[in-house]
Structure 1
């Protein structure tokens, strides 16, 4: 089985369940914050920021490095991918994907969006330390929201044969939960999390500030999350777009990790169009850490502009979809 087929199969990524514009963080406001909550501390693995009155933080879990010219490692066509990377200034021919779950404090709720890889897939399992560096103990997490059932998003739900977030309700789309439950290799994970799982549907309000957004194509039930406070909005896009280079600059390219390629391509195109049209603030869980920024449209297509940074020149790229 190829690497990208394994990456799309949550069971194989959990072979060892027991293993281990933006306002910077500043003055606190009462709206949307728990009484007495301390500001989230920033560090090398924690990027603290605000969504209106809400406290949020990108939490580093790990990273994937995939050789673009290896069809067993890269989900995109090697030739087009190599051109895209080179044009964007990537000299090592490698697709770099970060993994950074998102922490949000919404009133009395401490919400973690996706749970990281849990040390699987060659990742570092930094999430537990990042969470504590942000001033949050695992037992203080009240809700874990799962975008979909792939291992780099559910691998961190358990640790050492127990729940990693023992007091949290684990929330996911009903189709995502079904995908987990019917996978024999996830039987132990299913046993551990079943008492904690609650399913949702697109449009559901998880907290007063967090709403489920359907982003179909990558997996059945693949979900994003819109986080709103006052006039500010942030859209967590899950795996609708993986790479800030390939997915953004050539959204029409087939991605072998997508269950429904045609639908996933339409979802990517729609996100990019809406992102530019509405000036959406975006959270890319696999974009370069910390994954916060906006899309920009230029004469040669779309590009990613990280918050506080500048986008690399896109240049002309003729990347035909396969």
Structure 2
């Protein structure tokens, strides 16, 4: 837990984190973060955004897809927000093969270059390379889904805005990690960001925009199902989950 506190209070002091949790009525001895993916059913496509941790470290994406009556072969596209292990770990199966054999894997060019540069990704990169189609920041990756540049957390970190008729939903990736701490103190530099200052700028700007627009959001580390809205709360923000 101390590690999480240090990540969120990198420059401002980890001791401030329990105070924020207490004010929100949350336990101060545990900080739980979800790890979720987003399944998007579209005409002629079955799109998965991120893949979680993977089966080698306890990921249950395949079980979740089965509950939704979706097989790995049904997935036509996998969109990656960024290449951290809790988002790309599920791209390969336990035996190192492609988890989604019929899917095109899409991420920004900058993120693909970053992923290839990390020695720990060598085996996964070798597995997925034939399936990867990189794109430029802000591209329309397919009809109804537009990439939203959110670099800072990683060099090519990207959100995905899904549009259906007049409705919009933004998968904001790791723009914010905690539904409590990240929204109460969006200006804090997060230890997980490769470029802390750029991450801070992106986070504060994006949260302000989302609060002003009322657009619905998916955040993979917020409490399941990670769907809701960013709401202005004084000088900061709070999370308004969808009603289930």
Say if 1:72 and 1:81 are closer, same or farther in 2 by CA, change over 3 A: closer
Match of 1:146 among 76, 80, 86: 80
Partner of 1:320: none
Say if 1:83 and 1:175 are closer, same or farther in 2 by CA, change over 3 A: same
Match of 1:125 among 54, 59, 62: 59
1:103 aligns with 2:35: no
Shift of 1:73: 6.6
Shift of 1:89: 1.1
Asked if structure 2 preserves the Cα contact closer than 8 Å seen for 1:175 and 1:220, the reply is yes
Partner of 1:268: 203
5 Å matches for 1:148-163? 148-159=82-93, 160-163=95-98
Whole-angstrom distance in 1 between the partners of 2:133 and 2:5:
34
Match of 1:237 among 156, 172, 180: 172
1:290 aligns with 2:225: yes
Asked if structure 2 preserves the Cα contact closer than 8 Å seen for 1:173 and 1:200, the reply is yes
**Structure with larger Rg:** 1
TM-score calculated relative to the size of structure 1: 0.72
Shift of 1:72: 6.8
Partner of 1:76: 8
Asked if structure 1 preserves the Cα contact closer than 8 Å seen for 2:4 and 2:31, the reply is no
TM-score calculated relative to the size of structure 2: 0.94
Q: Deviations over 1:236-285 (max 9, x none)?
A: 00001111011111001121111111111111111111111111111111
Question: What is the number of equivalent residue pairs in this alignment?
Answer: 239
Shift of 1:296: 1.1
5 Å matches for 1:124-273? 124-159=58-93, 160-273=95-208
Shift of 1:74: 4.3
Whole-angstrom distance in 2 between the partners of 1:298 and 1:246:
13
Match of 1:301 among 223, 236, 241: 236
Q: Name the stretch that deviates more: 125-134 or 111-120.
A: 111-120
Asked if structure 2 preserves the Cα contact closer than 8 Å seen for 1:157 and 1:163, the reply is yes
Say if 1:233 and 1:163 are closer, same or farther in 2 by CA, change over 3 A: same
Partner of 2:216: 281
Shift of 1:92: 4.2
Runs of 4+ more than 3 Å apart:
71-74
Whole-angstrom distance in 1 between the partners of 2:6 and 2:239:
20
Shift of 1:300: 5.0
